[in-house]
Amino acid sequence: MKFVWQETLRQTCAMISYWCDQSAAGIPNVQRDARTVTMNVLASTVFRETYDFVGSANLKVSNLSTAESFRDALLLVHHYIIHLMVIPYRYLLGPWVPGKLSKIGFAAFNLEQIMTKVVAEEKAAIEDGKPGSGGLITSLVRTIDHISKRGALTLKEMLGNIFLINFAGLDTTANVLAFMIIRIAGEPDIQDWLYEEITTLTEGRPVQDWEYELFPKFKRCYAVFLETLRLYAPVTGLPKMTGRGMQAIQIGEQLVTIPPGTDVFPMLLGVQTDPQHWDDPFVWKPKRWIVCAEGSAEVDSEALLVPRKGTFFPWAEGPQGCVGKKVSQVESVAVLAALLATNRMHIKNKPGETEDGIRKRVEYCCDDNNSNVLLQMNNPTQIELECVETSKD
Ligand code: HEM
């Protein structure tokens, strides 16, 4: 996780510098920039391929080439995933296929080629007793290779797993980051509260010098992430099936039994906003996650709330829960802490608009969302953001 921490800090610093340059006109697209940071962190964590951050104004899906780059191929495949679910990519490679569709086909084809090449290199390294690239892919190939020797997994399945990790890790974290950044921009008090934690813990050291051991100490930053996940969990419900036996669940006064093999769909956003478990359930209140030692207002004496089991599970739970949970935690805390260490986020207000008016507009923007694949804002660019250096604020 040290690598995720360091790479996220590096990417965030580059994003901040781009945002500061763009601020006079308003940051063009926070959601896309958050996605670029997440994409670059994933690429370097999984494949040890490093990319420089490119801001949304200069990174257009239509300009991406389908050639060599893993990042560009993955971005294209990701962007057109619904097309690829309907039409397998091998049908999009023929000379008669129109330009745009053919580009999608080649992106998917190249992605498979790149992943196959990386897997082959990692396998060769294992056979030669070498350490491999050291990314997540090395551990994955070693584990999968070990299992495959028992005949469990084919190359296709291995590639499927690698793709799934990249796919599942991209917009989940990126979408939460976008919600989080827009929400804090509307709450100057929360930014002050976070800044207090950041300066206390880092003693004003430059972001590049922050060691990974700081991560678990950033409880307020983590609280902002948790509160954002409570209201805007990217996966809003979990398609599941009961096992071989009857399952019993208590609903209010009633004990309900569910037969074996029944599809169930626990709505996690419903549970996470249930007034039985959460006060002011629809209000974004990061401070609800911080519990203080009696009578103390010191940053170091704060602890995180542990919600009652079954009342908060954005990564699901149990053996099938999210394998990227820790990556998303480290990444989100790093982005927030690095951003607010040196900068403040502002919302460009409309003529005559009050602080309360801005807060309402932010709430509206975040609540105007869809969960077509994952929960995301319909129109994040309706809020114009500025990123200003703290010293110039
Ligand atoms: C805030 C960020 C994230 C959230 C809220 C989230 C949430 C989830 C949820 C709810 C599931 C379904 C678990 C189940 O079916 O019981 C899941 C699965 C998964 N997640 Fe995440 N995830 C996040 C980030 C990541 C990241 C960063 C990665 C990779 C680095 C990742 C990789 C995966 C994988 C591989 C699966 C398994 C998919 C499967 O078995 O079908 N996730 N995640």
If one residue of 315, 331, 335 were mutated to test the ligand 1 pocket, choosing by the most ligand atoms within 8 A of its CB, it would be 315
Q: Is the Cβ atom of 135 under 6 angstroms away from ligand 1?
A: no
If one residue of 158, 164, 166, 172 were mutated to test the ligand 1 pocket, choosing by the most ligand atoms within 8 A of its CB, it would be 172
**Residue 293's pLDDT is what?**
63
**Residue 110's pLDDT is what?**
82
Distance of CA 276 to the CA centre of its chain: 28
Helices (H) and strands (E) in the chain, counts: 12, 10
Would 275 be classed as within a structural domain?
A: no
Give the mean pLDDT of the chain.
84
- Name which of 16-20, 139-143, 348-352, 364-368 the model is least confident about: 139-143
Mean pLDDT value of segment 13-35: 86
For residue 202, pLDDT beyond 80 = yes
Q: CA-CA distances (angstroms) from residue 211 to 14, 216, 286?
A: 18, 11, 25
Mean pLDDT value of segment 131-159: 66
Mean pLDDT value of segment 248-262: 88
Distance of CA 20 to the CA centre of its chain: 23
Q: What is the pLDDT of residues 85-104, one digit of tens each?
A: 788 778 878 778 777 778 78
More confident position, 252 or 224: 224
For residue 183, pLDDT beyond 80 = yes
For residue 393, pLDDT beyond 80 = no
For residue 26, pLDDT beyond 70 = yes
- Tell me the percentage of the chain whose pLDDT exceeds 70: 88
Beta strand pairing status for 385-389 and 376-377? unpaired
Mean pLDDT value of segment 252-259: 89
Find the CATH number of the domain harbouring 202. 1.10.630.10
- Tell me the percentage of the chain whose pLDDT exceeds 90: 36
Residue-number span of the structural domain to which 86 is assigned: 2-235+325-392
Would 161 be classed as within a structural domain?
A: yes
- Which of 12-26, 30-44, 152-166, 183-197 has the highest average model confidence (pLDDT)? 183-197
More confident position, 193 or 66: 193
Q: What is the pLDDT of residues 276-290, one digit of tens each?
A: 999 999 999 999 999
Distance of CA 82 to the CA centre of its chain: 20
**Which atom of ligand 1 lies at the shortest distance from residue 314's CA?**
5
Q: CA-CA distances (angstroms) from residue 233 to 50, 70, 288, 366?
A: 28, 28, 17, 12
Mean pLDDT value of segment 263-270: 89
**Sign of the dihedral through C-alpha 378, 383, 387, 393:** negative
For residue 392, pLDDT beyond 80 = no
For residue 241, pLDDT beyond 70 = yes
Q: State how many domains the chain has.
A: 1
Known binding-site residue numbers: 322
Would 361 be classed as within a structural domain?
A: yes
**Residue 64's pLDDT is what?**
62
Q: What is the DSSP string of 329-393?
A: HHHHHHHHHHHHHHEEEEEPPPTT--HHHHHHHHHHHHHSEE-SSS-EES-GGGS-EEEEEGGG-
**Residue 342's pLDDT is what?**
93
Known binding-site residue numbers for heme: 322
Q: How far apart are CA 35 and CA 172, in angstroms?
A: 9
Instruction: Return the SS3 of 249.
Output: strand
Q: What is the pLDDT of residues 299-357, one digit of tens each?
A: 677 888 999 988 999 998 877 788 888 989 999 999 999 999 999 999 988 888 888 88
pLDDT band at 152 (very low <50, low <70, confident <90, very high): low
Would 256 be classed as within a structural domain?
A: no
Distance of CA 161 to the CA centre of its chain: 18
Q: Is the Cβ atom of 169 under 6 angstroms away from ligand 1?
A: yes
**Residue 153's pLDDT is what?**
59
- The residue whose C-alpha atom lies closest to atom 11 belonging to ligand 1 is 322
**Which atom of ligand 1 lies at the shortest distance from residue 239's CA?**
15
Tokens of 67: 């050639």
Would 294 be classed as within a structural domain?
A: no
